[in-house]
Amino acid sequence: SQQGEEDPQALSIQEGENATMNCSYKTSINNLQWYRQNSGRGLVHLILIRSNEREKHSGRLRVTLDTSKKSSSLLITASRAADTASYFCATVDTGNQFYFGTGTSLTVIP
């Protein structure tokens, strides 16, 4: 399968803690993107990292990419209850097709 695989499937942390979720993939990529999905809602784009980039920041989000290991991680610092959602990585291959995984379900306990 060409889909990304997120790990862990579920994560529960206390408010204020950091949350780290990982994504592994199998094919060569053009870029990798992270999305957030609140319960019953559509996916919302968070951040895009290109294949020639190793790290990217956006507010409390930090994304890393290791193309040699075909993996990426998303770190959310100082988590808030409002960060509770499912987080998906999407790999965009060299044929420009998007592949999503099944996501990491994050619960932030107030």
Partner 1 sequence: DTAVSQTPKYLVTQMGNDKSIKCEQNLGHDTMYWYKQDSKKFLKIMFSYNNKELIINETVPNRFSPKSPDKAHLNLHINSLELGDSAVYFCASSRFTSGTGELFFGEGSRLTVL
Which of 72, 79, 84, 86 touches partner 1 by CB under 8 A?
86
* Residue 92 near partner 1 by CB under 8 A: yes
Amino acid found at 30: N
Instruction: Sketch the per residue contact string, 25 through 54, with partner 1: x for CB under 8 A, - otherwise.
Output: -----xx-x-x-x--xxxxxx--x------
The vertex-55 CA angle with 93 and 43, nearest 5°, equals 55
* Residue 88 near partner 1 by CB under 8 A: yes
* Residue 98 near partner 1 by CB under 8 A: yes
Stretch that binds partner 1, among 14-22, 56-64, 68-76, 92-100 (CB under 8 A): 92-100
Residues 72-85: b if buried by 16+ CB within 10 A, e if exposed: bbbebeebeeebbb
Could you tell me which of 62, 72, 64 has the C-alpha nearest to residue 26? 72
